[in-house]
Structure 1
């Protein structure tokens, strides 16, 4: 079993101040943006729909996802202390991977909801009941934390005899497997298989849903109807593409490349930061509510 400490290598070498500033601004923007979406969906009756409920759940997940790694990194940078305990390292890895798998399945649930709404417009309210909506929102969390447990336990069972220097800014499977003194073959196979099941399979299903959505929308006669149908899906499609591309590169073949940490920055910090802007600026309903809320606050301040 593991004991002792693991020393994180810096993400950008000796440029500590630049790294700290970039991650701090990214984290603040991500949290504020996602909190804004959650609040808007909560207070605005016109956004009390299934689609926006899933978007608000996704925003909660994004805040948790980025909070697993970035605050710890900021603390390390400001204190110039890159040490983390083995227990803390594996706890961080488990929660991070669990939330990542949860995001994969939540994105799948969100496109399933849009497919159901477009394909069964008249029966959608009867099918997507409140109970089913809650179940679909909870299921990805259960699957995420359950499916991530086995590869974490197997990796934790490896022998580590030093040097324990991780070339990454958080604890992840590939960097830890590369440090193992014992053969990490089983751990690598388990991780790669899990990635194919939890990342590639949901992506294939999502692509299948979108192909069917395009076929359905192409049959709509009016341009206005086509534009309205596509507008509910484009934001989700952009978010899904950004997340899955980097995740597949890193996890489907986890060989511990030097560039993994830069790709990891994309899906752990950058993507969660821009997601609220994608949903806001590409969604007329959210833009309208946001504009009205800002105007209301301005009027209150001027009184």
Structure 2
């Protein structure tokens, strides 16, 4: 019998002062799962009163970011601003898709109204590489709140992107993508769609098993392609399912830039260093400088 889990990717953790971020993609042994080329999980955390997450303006190219916050005890919010003039408050249960395309700048900060009590943070940020021929599309931002929910007695699944369990999210797909949050009560079970080229699951709370294999908390379990598998939990758990179309062209990652072309990334580095990216209206005074040594790099 084929092992249901091809490989398990262990995240690298970073303490950002009050909350922990666990980065599992890109990793030394694997760069992508479907279009997903960057997977960060953060929290659960309650930040000290008077503080907040403050990610200063920074650039992206040739990718789309997906921000997803979890509900429950650690439900929080993030204020998003970008160089298109967008202002949006990100909350649990809604997907926020920012397409960088030819280039965008954005910031992510804790809402002022939540700082005094100590903001709560618990969620995911992922990047999707844009497919060949679409890497340089126009930048865009969308926020979707009417997402499909599949419920049974002991399972609740929300489709963030793509088609799963016969339901399709309205979120724009630049390539075939699946992404969902699954909440399992004690004894809960749900089938994992087998049609995607590549699939992976991450246990972000409680306990879970896939195809009988125990899931490690916050690790990314890459699943065998085409295998009919079931996700289960003994005591209850929260699991993220992600994947989609396998890319045949290599993608390079350097800091916040993703591209099929090293030359395009080098151009973006020079453009940011020389101040040629647009400003973020309402957040023009600060920015993150180009790092000498980036904390995210793959296929340099």
Regarding TM over 0.5, the answer is no
Per the shorter chain, which TM-score range? under 0.3
Higher relative contact order (CA 8 A, sep 6+): 1
Instruction: Considering fraction of residues, name the structure with more helix.
Output: 1
Structure of greater Rg: 1
With structure 1 as the length reference, what TM-score do the two structures score? 0.28
Instruction: Considering fraction of residues, name the structure with more strand.
Output: 2
